Amino acid sequence: MSYEKEIAKRRTFAIISHPDAGKTTLTEKLLLFGGAIQVAGAVKSNKIKKHATSDFMEIERQRGISVATSVMSFEYNNTLINLLDTPGHKDFAEDTYRTLTAVDSVILVIDSVNGVEEQTRKLVEVCRMRDTPIIVFVNKMDRDGKLPFDLLDEIEKELKISLHPLSWPINMGKEFKGVYNLYNSSLNLFTASQKATEDNIVPIPDLNDKVLDAKVGERDANQLREDVELLQGVYGELDVEAYLKGKVSPVFFGSAVNNFGVKELLDTFIQIAPVPQHRDTDKRTVEPTEAKFTGFIFKIHANLDPRHRDRVAFLRVCSGRFARNTYYKHCRLEKDMRFSNPYSFLAREKDIIEEAYPGDVIGLFDTGNFKIGDTLTEGEIMQFTGIPVFSPEIFKELVNKDPMKTKQLEKGIRQLTDEGVAQLFTQHGGNRKIIGCVGELQFEVIQYRLLQEYGASCSFTPLSFYKACWITGDKKKVEDFVRFKQSNVMEDKDGNLVYLAQSEWFLNTERQNNPDIEFHTTSEFKTAMV
């Protein structure tokens, strides 16, 4: 197959949502249709004992939530799909934000009962920053929830996105009978089922056909005719170009847990979703059709397999062809590296691959050479941009509860913070270690993983800091500032100086008193300095 055809057959996307909207359940059903798994698991279920494929960490299985992005690749209808299931919980939002830099489009899951929720707004804001194309899947139609027209109004108003329904439900809750696919004029009748099936899809190109009355009843058939006439009058034909530019979002209705409406979503997705797109660097824009390989690391995961204590860096291929056992330039370290066992993933399951193309997400075995945002090329020195580290919101001092395990604790906290789940700050000229996180649950995950994966026991002491700011500027002025503010100046893992401000007032005061020093709230300044 030619290089251009390899690119054209790929779709790389993330599934995003507020917690409990059904995101991981939808992921399972997409894998089921793709033939990647035989039985769909459940995130929380008393009946289904098999856990979700994408929730592979032990703490995820115990808590019933996703706390790390998982990567899954599978083929469907001659299309290679790279699917990234992201954490919905706000405490792990940074992992989700970084994942969105590695995809070309997203599927946004909305709970029909709860409608638009807090985390949904934040995630869509990040998508809007990059004009990422969005397809909306309104889930849980088998439950009594908000009316479809009310949901469309709420989504458009709250998320400030233009919608275009491509399927339409017939009732909801106990009266839910199915959805009419506006994109290909077919009726999909609802049956509660855990299996992938096409038995209940009825082609109805003409809504006046009496077959519709026979299938759903005269009352519901007439209501559907009215609704579709209204929808076609308001929305007309889908403008695919507007979708690809992030201006319009197609909408599908269904029930992921019952495997309903998922096939229509997947079939339409592979038809209209974008192929691998260009990416910006500090030097130029990289096009996927370029002959030479480039890629960047957007995620690092330690102990993917706890038995082998492995560490895997996830790389998004941006251009060219990645080949196994070939030397590539690590731009930050300016050294050549080769990879004998690059992987493709189905969550924890992994297969060694010989090559990868733009859009693919591959795993590289890492001995500590990689950091999030690192770039690999065939020799050109550059840095992919738009992968910042944000200032944490909660700060706690790390306390070692077992001095005999100091080495294990040091190694564990360094590896876990390299993953991006938290940030590690060490006191300038001292050993005091402070962990910064976006949410409280991250501290619980760190504590759990340090004990389970490294045998290191620790506790956390809360600290009353407001924000972490990276400081740059006149060398002498920075040295003076560090000397006067020693108790508040830390170093991040890369040795960059960080000022921990006690409050917004303190931060503003220091900015006024030190005009020659810049206080940065994200790590993007490091890219500008390269």
CATH number of residue 516's parent domain: 3.30.70.3280
The pLDDT of residue 237 is above 70: yes
Torsion of CA 5, 99, 160, 153, to 10 degrees: 80
Cα radius of gyration rounded to whole Å, the chain: 25
**Whether residues 218 and 328 fall in one domain:** no
**Whether residues 229 and 370 fall in one domain:** no
Check: CB of residue 170 under 8 Å from CB of residue 186. no
- φ, ψ of residue 463 to 5 degrees: the values are -125, 145
Evaluate whether residue 98 is within a structural domain: no
CA neighbours within 13 Å on the CB side: how many for 70?
A: 24
Evaluate whether residue 136 is within a structural domain: yes
**Whether residues 160 and 233 fall in one domain:** yes
Q: CB 403: neighbour CB atoms within 10 A?
A: 7
Evaluate whether residue 91 is within a structural domain: no
What confidence category does residue 36 fall into, taking pLDDT thresholds of 50, 70 and 90? low
**Whether residues 50 and 28 fall in one domain:** yes
| Tens-digit pLDDT profile for residues 325-374 | 999 999 999 999 999 988 886 644 567 889 999 999 998 988 878 888 89
**Whether residues 283 and 348 fall in one domain:** yes
| Tens-digit pLDDT profile for residues 437-490 | 877 878 888 898 899 888 999 999 999 999 999 999 989 999 999 999 988 999
**Whether residues 330 and 266 fall in one domain:** no
What confidence category does residue 428 fall into, taking pLDDT thresholds of 50, 70 and 90? confident
**Whether residues 36 and 121 fall in one domain:** yes
Which of 37-51, 180-194, 499-513 is least confident? Answer: 37-51
Residue with tokens 């990040």: 126
Query: Looking at 272, 290, 323, which one is the last position of a domain?
Result: 272
Largest CA distance in the chain: 84
**Whether residues 265 and 283 fall in one domain:** no
Tokens of 26: 């939808």
Check: CB of residue 515 under 8 Å from CB of residue 525. no
3-state DSSP helix/strand/coil percent for the chain, to nearest 5? 30, 30, 40
**Whether residues 215 and 283 fall in one domain:** no
- What is the reported pLDDT for 427? 86
Per the prediction, the chain carries an average pLDDT of: 83
- What is the reported pLDDT for 44? 35
Question: DSSP per residue over 183-194, as a string?
Answer: TTTEEEE----S
The pLDDT of residue 504 is above 70: yes
Evaluate whether residue 247 is within a structural domain: yes
Q: What is the CATH number of the domain that holds 191?
A: 3.40.50.300
> Hey, which residues does 498 pair with through a beta bridge?
470, 490
| DSSP code, position 441 | H
Residues in the chain: 530
Tokens of 358: 């733009």
| DSSP code, position 424 | E
Q: How many domains does the chain have?
A: 3
Q: Report the distance separating Cα 243 and Cα 513, nearest Å.
A: 48
Torsion of CA 237, 241, 247, 252, to 10 degrees: 50
pTM greater than the 0.85 cutoff: no
Q: Domain residues for 324?
A: 279-377
Evaluate whether residue 119 is within a structural domain: yes
Evaluate whether residue 79 is within a structural domain: no
Q: Report the distance separating Cα 400 and Cα 406, nearest Å.
A: 7
Which has the closest alpha carbon to 436: 389, 386, 482, 373? 389
Helix, strand counts (H, E) of the chain: 15, 31
Query: Looking at 248, 272, 296, which one is the last position of a domain?
Result: 272
**Whether residues 191 and 325 fall in one domain:** no
